[in-house]
Amino acid sequence: MGTFNAIKQIEKNIELIASDKTWIEGKAIEQLKFSAKLPDMLKVAGMPDLHPGKSYPIGAAFLSKNTLYPYLVGSDIGCGMGLWQTDKPINKVKISRWIDKLSILDDPLDLDWLDEIEQTKQQFGVISRDFDQALGSIGGGNHFAELQIVDTIFDQTLAEAIHLSKKHVQLLVHSGSRGYGHEILNQHIAQFNSAGIVADSDAGVAYLNKHDDAVRWACANRALIASQIMATLNIDAESLLDVTHNLVSKQNGIGWLHRKGATPSDQGVVAIPGSRGAHTYLVKPIKSATGLFSLAHGAGRKWQRSEAKARLSNKYRVQDLQKTSLGSHVVCKNKALLYEEAPQAYKSIDQVIQDLKDAGLIELIASLKPILTYKTSKSGGC
């Protein structure tokens, strides 16, 4: 049972899962309050990784009765975290070889991948053909693929239940629906601006059909990213989990639950990463209506991208940022991104996890630590 000081009732229909130790930017709370006033909104919940977005906050869940708000899901529909356990023993890793191989990894996938793309689309039930050329690409921003090793097992029984092996390298993939999700949101904005749509109206049904396909597309994309990395590194892997944190779904008998950077707590074990220089936690959610059946999806930004670059570019050279304080390596050809996504730009994942624990929402399984983070191969910046 958790302690209640990590659960704050800000207003009647606004909940915040965060202790006093967790810093939450005032603007994010304002955005949360603003979202709670949207027509037909029943309740909103901020997670400990809550931080400001363009108009609405990231790290939050929003429950409406019968209205869909595409703006609350955002443009990266289906973004999520997939975790694979590889067959590579950690004592057999030659990290410099992996750095070299990943440094020449190009997106998108080439013609040799056509069959696998088709099979993966079928496996996940993806309908659209319009964005096939983007499948297998990670995208920019804080999307990444990260090779990790198990650091601490907190609960042996829970770790065994998901076949987690301390001896093998893990692969965490964070990506979404690339241009597909953008197109869906843009189509909505062209017609309705930021307004919501009635879920069972023609517009609502049309949005949901496209949204659901983009969610499946994003899952297929993470699987193809993992496959491409495995092929490049000549390793094999089994999928341990894949959980979406940007989506809207029907909560039977309650309404429509929008999650924007909020990990579902009703779909089994989830991975909550901190940054390329921090641990990822594997946790078992304790199903609860507190926090609208949701958990944090990461550590959440402390600094906006431009602020991170301004603060760090005088202190660190590019090569300083290609290694982290945990000793891990970073492959990222985009120099600006190296600064924008530096570990310093994120809040403490340890505190976020502590808050979720104190709120009685999770059981800890294990922590993983990065050995090699791969970000977009597109050069640019600085």
Ligand X SMILES: Nc1nc2c(ncn2[C@@H]2O[C@H](COP(=O)(O)O)[C@@H](O)[C@H]2O)c(=O)[nH]1
Q: Which residues are annotated as a binding site?
A: 142-146, 174, 245-246, 297-300, 375
Of the chain, the end-to-end C-alpha distance in Å amounts to 48
The pair phi, psi for residue 34, each rounded to 5°, is -60, -45
The DSSP output letter for 371 is: E
**Does the footprint of Mn ion cover residue 321 (CB under 5 A)?**
no
Strand order in 246-251's β-sheet?
A: 7-11, 14-17, 41-51, 58-64, 255-260, 246-251
With beta carbons less than 8 A apart as the criterion, state whether 59 and 47 touch. Answer: yes
**Does the footprint of ligand X cover residue 144 (CB under 6 A)?**
yes
In angstroms, give the least distance from the CB of 120 to ligand X.
22
Is the CB of 141 or the CB of 360 nearer to ligand X?
Answer: 141
211 assigned to active site: no
Neighbours of 82 (CB within 10 A): 24
In angstroms, give the least distance from the CB of 324 to ligand X.
9
Residue given tokens 């790290």 in the structure block: 59
Q: Residues 51, 258, 279, 297: which is the catalytic one? A: 297
Binding-site partner at residue 299 among ligand X, Mn ion, none, CB < 5 to 8 Å by type: ligand X
**Does the footprint of ligand X cover residue 58 (CB under 6 A)?**
yes
Nearest to 276 by CA among 170, 370, 367, 348: 370
Among 17, 72, 79, 270, indicate the residue that binds ligand X (CB under 6 A).
79
Q: Label residue 40 exposed, middle or buried (CB < 10 Å: 0-12, 13-18, 19+).
A: middle
Residues 42-81: x where in contact with Mn ion by CB under 5 A, - otherwise, as a string: -------------------------------------x--
In angstroms, give the least distance from the CB of 349 to ligand X.
6
In angstroms, give the least distance from the CB of 271 to ligand X.
9
**Does the footprint of ligand X cover residue 142 (CB under 6 A)?**
yes
Residue given tokens 């093998």 in the structure block: 168
Q: Cα 272 to the chain's mean position, in Å?
A: 8
Residues 179-198 that bind ligand X (CB under 6 A): none
- Rule CB under 5 A: which residues touch Mn ion? 79
Catalytic residue numbers?
Answer: 297
Residues that bind ligand X (CB under 6 A): 49, 58, 79, 142, 144, 146, 174, 245, 261, 273-276, 280, 297-300, 341, 346, 370, 373
